[in-house]
Chain A
């Protein structure tokens, strides 16, 4: 990790779009009015999901909505490395470089990224990709792995090697949908070659009793 600064070039303004506004409403409802500053991390996430990164006008917009001094939002945004303070490509590839993944070949993934995209934090020539090395994301049983962050969400893509990652990036660049999760014959993190969870109803949630989640107003499984 190094010193994190706001990007030199910033947009003039920032506004949340309709989808973001709906999410903001959902998150703000979770906190009492006097403690609404607690929503600062969700708000930063929402801003990042909308734009791909957190720009300076967004910090001020969030501070205004949460009655926080600008500096407090600035502190949070710079503290957490998951907030991109500079623009990133359409797909942000977060390569796990921690020991288990490294032992299983994450360096190969990083070489692919370097070859294909360039330096860390930089956007590839086609604007599609940015890559960063991150610390353990807790999927060591499926090492090496990446997290793919884009407008679709954040997805683990596991059991990779250099060739698979390159193929994956080709697909992404071509706009094809890709398979998330293990890229091997595994379903999840079971031992290779075993047959478990063969019945999808065991894990797709269809067997679960519907319960009402607090604050959501809707029933979820």
Chain B
């Protein structure tokens, strides 16, 4: 598309904009705010709400600015540039007319509407609403629709903007919502009112400009102005989606997305959105000690004394496992304590992924998430990105939709919301791919910027390191790695993983990894929110659980040290790209729970190995000193010179067994979401037959 600049006069002010701009974009470039309901930057243009009307000078009627291009405008009779007015009395009158029609059938239930206070219709009626009503007839009423456990509907409020329909069709890629009927009887619904099953469905709640689609779990909980908003980071997957946590008092009441073009654009997955429900349930709010097989509440001095006693034992018989939701600081504190004690059996890879140890690029999503849009061929290896990183999958879908990117999959043939070439299911297909001449290898070789996406499922196998080497060799063979583009991309599933590997939270000399810790009889195991393990494998070891939720780890634990969940402490998280982001505290830890790094700091004092920091700032100084790469906040490293993809992983043959994706149940990947009722309902829906949803 040519980006020819075109002069246009907006309210008497001449500016130059690309001729591919719509009038609405041109007006925004000129600093004008155009009201809109149906138009959304990330969705296709529908042009049906008519709120964005502007006056075209010389045209007989106002035009919808979202649906008209600058290049289609006509200049004046003497060669003047085309002109439009966005502030003229005609525009105001036209928009008032549109608003009046919208309000004719809109209920006056703002005081009890969950959208109240953050409603586009409410806000815009402030400027364009007429006083009084000229409509004595009955208002239209629409039956509410069932859309599943996430979306509450009040369809009488719907203004038929179709944003939700366009979102699920275009972005989420699961066309489940549609508009039936026509004219006054048009209604938004799902097919036979079945539940929306997309893992991105919650975004339609944000998109809805009115209160027709609202959040079911949040219904009638709070008004937006009572909430304390904290801009932070999500830890439900390894993407680090930017979120805003809204809390009232000590309770987190909802989670909303924030815009970050490099990570999540402005979407979040349903798991991210409803993790807050889990923050209020199954919490560990005081220390517990197991006595005669039963956990009894204890106080901190007692608990710390017991823990110090156990950790003071034989260092070779002690292990530490960091879970998926740990911040860099708490892992740093734990690692420093382990180093001070001489403990070498430490591991941050509770799924047993064979990554870490080599170059940083070996375990990063080097193409970067935004870089997916530059890729012209993508090979997904042993991953189901839809479940492992739903937002990233939406990116792949976006590039498939707009750039005609070819996608191939080695692994389970699942519905990824876009068509792909199924190259194979087993690991030897990957190893043999680079020797092939036709098929998907040709697509990759012909591509300018091929992307090799390696999922956790491929790396947690016994031959994970060999699979990584095969992927690295393939990336090298197809020219995916250069100074400008590094297509070898590892997709992690745990928010803590990259920072953990950066810190070196991996077994030291003579130390055991997770599997080793389970197979050898250790005396003491410290679980830092690590629950995705087979707890029966720890034998007679004394298990100290440091964490926030009563899940598998706490059930096995002999001593529980209650910690903070990620919304209750400041923390650094490196996402799968290696982008370090700051999470901020939204509420305080529950009950007697402490920030996790402080627990290790307190333990170190008891053990006589006091860690050299007294507060989080000092800890961060030490962290940045030791691991400088974590100091580059919000920087995704991407491609760099001198990286040898062929050296990733370890040499050896891969087994001819099928890849198994890392995430089985999208809604149940960590202790926080397992405590969420809404997500449990979603999970039941996803695993049950689709027909059940209609009941």
Contact = CB atoms under 8 A, between A and B. Distances in A.
Interface of A: 1-4, 6, 56, 69-72, 74-75, 78-79
A75 B185 contact: no
B180 A75 contact: yes
Contact of B175 (A4, A6, A72, A79): A72
A1 B178 CA distance: 20
Contact of A78 (B176, B177, B181, B190): B181
A187 to B, nearest CB: 37
B176 A3 contact: no
24 contacts: A1-B183, A1-B185, A2-B185, A3-B187, A4-B180, A4-B185, A69-B175, A69-B176, A69-B191, A70-B192, A71-B175, A71-B177, A71-B190, A71-B191, A72-B175, A72-B178, A74-B178, A74-B191, A74-B192, A75-B180, A78-B181, A78-B182, A79-B181, A79-B182
Interface string B169-209: 00000011111111101010011100000000000000000
Nearest to B182: A79
A85 to B, nearest CB: 10
A78 B183 contact: no
A69 B173 CA distance: 11
A79 B180 contact: yes
Interface string B653-673: 000000000000000000000
A126 B456 CA distance: 67
7 smallest A-B Cβ distances: which pairs?
A71-B178, A69-B175, A78-B180, A70-B191, A71-B191, A3-B185, A75-B178
A87 to B, nearest CB: 18
A72 B191 CA distance: 9
Contacts of B177: 71
Contacts of A75: 178-180
Nearest to A75: B178
Contacts of B191: 69-71, 74
Nearest to A80: B182
Contacts of A78: 180-182
Contact of B176 (A6, A71, A79): A71
Query: Which bucket holds chain B's interface residue count?
Result: 10 to 19
A182 B179 CA distance: 40
A79 B186 CA distance: 8
A69 to B, nearest CB: 4
Q: From DSSP, what is the main secondary structure of chain B's interface residues?
A: mixed
A70 B189 CA distance: 12
A70 B693 CA distance: 15
Contacts of B190: 71
Nearest to A69: B175
Contacts of A72: 175, 178
A56 B185 contact: no
Contacts of B183: 1
A74 B185 contact: no
A144 to B, nearest CB: 26
B179 A56 contact: no
A181 B504 CA distance: 88
A56 B194 CA distance: 14
A3 B180 CA distance: 9
A122 to B, nearest CB: 20
A188 to B, nearest CB: 33
Contacts of B185: 1-4
Contacts of A71: 175-178, 190-191
A68 to B, nearest CB: 9
Contacts of B192: 6, 56, 70, 74
A82 to B, nearest CB: 12
B180 A74 contact: yes
Given A72-B175, A78-B181, A78-B182, 17 more contacts: A1-B185, A3-B185, A3-B187, A6-B192, A56-B192, A69-B178, A71-B175, A71-B177, A71-B190, A71-B191, A74-B180, A74-B191, A75-B178, A75-B180, A79-B180, A79-B181, A79-B182
Nearest to A79: B182
A74 to B, nearest CB: 6
A78 B192 CA distance: 12
A119 B177 CA distance: 33
A56 B180 CA distance: 14
Which of B180, B183, B190 has most chain A Cβ within 10 Å?
B180
A1 B179 CA distance: 17
A99 to B, nearest CB: 20
A70 B178 CA distance: 10
A4 B181 contact: yes
Nearest to A10: B192
A3 B181 CA distance: 7
Interface string B402-421: 00000000000000000000
A74 B192 CA distance: 9
A46 B262 CA distance: 49
Contacts of A6: 192
Contacts of B181: 3-4, 78-79
Interface in B146-189: 175-183, 185, 187
A4 B187 CA distance: 10
Contacts of A56: 192
Nearest to B181: A78
A74 B180 CA distance: 7
A170 to B, nearest CB: 36
A74 B193 CA distance: 12
Nearest to A70: B191
Contacts of A3: 181, 185, 187
B106 to A, nearest CB: 18
A82 B178 CA distance: 20
A71 B187 CA distance: 12
Nearest to A73: B191
A150 B258 CA distance: 57
B193 to A, nearest CB: 11
A128 B175 CA distance: 39
Contacts of B180: 4, 74-75, 78-79
A65 B522 CA distance: 61
B314 to A, nearest CB: 62
A62 B178 CA distance: 17
Contacts of A1: 183, 185
